[in-house]
Amino acid sequence: MSRSEVAAVTKFSALTFEQKLDRLAEVAVKIGLGLRAGQELVMTAPIDALPLVRRITEHAYKAGAVLVTNFYSDDPAILARYQYGPDASFDFAPVWLQDGIAAAFKSGAARLAIAGANPALLSGQDPARVSRVNIAVSKASKQAMELITRHEINWTIVACATPEWAKLVFPNEPVDIAVEKLWEAIFVASRIAVDDPVAEWQQHGAKLKQRVDMLNAKRFSALHFKSADGLTDLTVGLADDHLWAGGGTTAGNGIYCQPNIPTEECFTTPHKDRVDGIVRASKPLSHQGSLIENISVRFEAGKIVEATASAGEDVLNRLISTDEGARRLGEVALVPHSSPIAQSGVLFWNTLFDENAASHIALGQAYSTCLIGGEKMDAAQLAALGANSSLIHVDWMIGSGSMDVHGVNPDGTSEPLMRRGEWV
Ligand code: ZN
Ligand code: ZN
């Protein structure tokens, strides 16, 4: 960190909490969404995020939004369904609402999601019921999700510290201190703890783009991951015509947006049939209310043939049994160990943050935008290039400060990309 950066951070800490929150809201609207005058905005948030939702709503109207529509989720209401709902409830999802959201996207609305719900909310519930609800929601929201994953619209995700989440991240602190600490960690990770966050994000985006351009020029056929402890020795074949992405993207509606705040990753589409070897997760995975620890998996010809975990193994097995594509990869991503999130040493129990702390892979659905011309292809064309399809997309961390990554060329030769977790 340079002298001027230190000064900038000090200055940031002199702001009131309300001012800091306002900065995050401004970055969410200007950088995350790139919201245009005349657009509608559809926002979803946990009810604890109300102060941030209101700030974002203000900035959205200042940017010229014609209508901001907010939907809230409430943890006790979610739990009431598990406690008192009839069994049929767990195969049910509001199709009418998801259809309406898809219709809003098609008529030009932008989408903002606030992350921050209690990651362990459903950990005590029947995993079969949790899984049924997720499948019902995935099916009902397929149309809306496709518009998002194909980047047809501008969208972003930002985070809000909530008490239950904060207690999980900082278990030894009283709840008010834990929330305060989590907010600070979110501000730093989201790159707004500087003098001029909008300029910071423009620079950060340009750096990510440089890395993406380098990787796209290489045309590797595979990546090889090997950890010093030998627990990971994995070859991830890349899809034919794969495209690397990272940082900002120009959506199908022509608007430039940063889909994740924070974001530190360069990612692409693996080949669904060309993944072989063993891989050990380097961080626990928080999945739909359960924590899965020490995941260890063996791939053969792209498919998981063995999966174990020291905790949450039943959740893992249920997850990879969701459908045919759930045992195969839909994403591979490179993140240097020096990323601010990795350096913070905080385990966030939230993919938005944890996936930006380490190189990772994702089970399930591939991003069609990570293939040349992919956004215009149908399912059969995408599959022919090796892109996976599934109802799920779940990222889990495999990178660490002891991970070496090589890029493998089509002729079988290879070159080092990352050594001990850092770009070569
Ligand atoms: Zn990722
Ligand atoms: Zn992902």
pLDDT computed for residue 351 by the predictor? 84
Q: Answer yes or no: are the C-beta atoms of 162 and 180 closer than 8 Å.
A: no
Tell me, in angstroms, the distance from the centre of ligand 2 to residue 177's CA.
Answer: 31
pLDDT tops 70 at residue 7:
no
Q: Which of 17, 423, 116 is nearest to 246 (CA)?
A: 423
d(CA 235, CA 310): 24
- The confidence score (pLDDT) of residue 102 equals 98
Separation CA 375–CA 396 (nearest Å): 25
> Which pairing describes strands 329-334 and 360-364: parallel, antiparallel, or unpaired?
antiparallel
CA angle in degrees (0–180, nearest 5) for 385-360-241:
20
The pLDDT value recorded for residue 291 is 83
Using pLDDT thresholds of 50, 70 and 90, give the confidence band for residue 366: very high
Does residue 226 contact residue 398 with C-beta atoms inside 8 Å? no
* CATH fit for domain 3-189, picks 2.60.320.10, 3.30.450.20, 1.10.3080.10, 3.40.1830.10: 3.40.1830.10
Q: What is the mean pLDDT of residues 331-350?
A: 90
What's residue 3's pLDDT?
Answer: 41
In whole numbers, what is the pLDDT of the chain averaged over residues?
A: 93
How far, in Å, is the centroid of ligand 1 from the Cα of 396?
9
Instruction: Find the mean pLDDT for residues 400-418.
Output: 96
The structural domains of the chain, with segments of one domain joined by +, span 3-189, 219-245+263-423
CA of 23 to the centre of ligand 1 (A): 25
Ligand 1 centroid – CA 267 distance (Å): 6
Over 50: is that where the pLDDT of 2 sits?
Answer: no
Question: CA–CA separation, 52 vs 49, rounded Å?
Answer: 5
End-to-end CA, the chain: 20
Q: How far does residue 125's CA lie from ligand 2's centre (Å)?
A: 25
Torsion of CA 410, 305, 350, 119, to 10 degrees: 170
Stretch 122-148: mean pLDDT, rounded?
A: 92
Measured over the CA atoms of residue 125, residue 171, residue 77 and residue 261, the dihedral's sign is negative
Distance of CA 18 from the midpoint of ligand 2 (Å): 31
Q: Is the separation of the CB atoms in 70 and 41 below 8 Å?
A: no
How remote is the CA of residue 261 from the centroid of ligand 1, in Å?
12
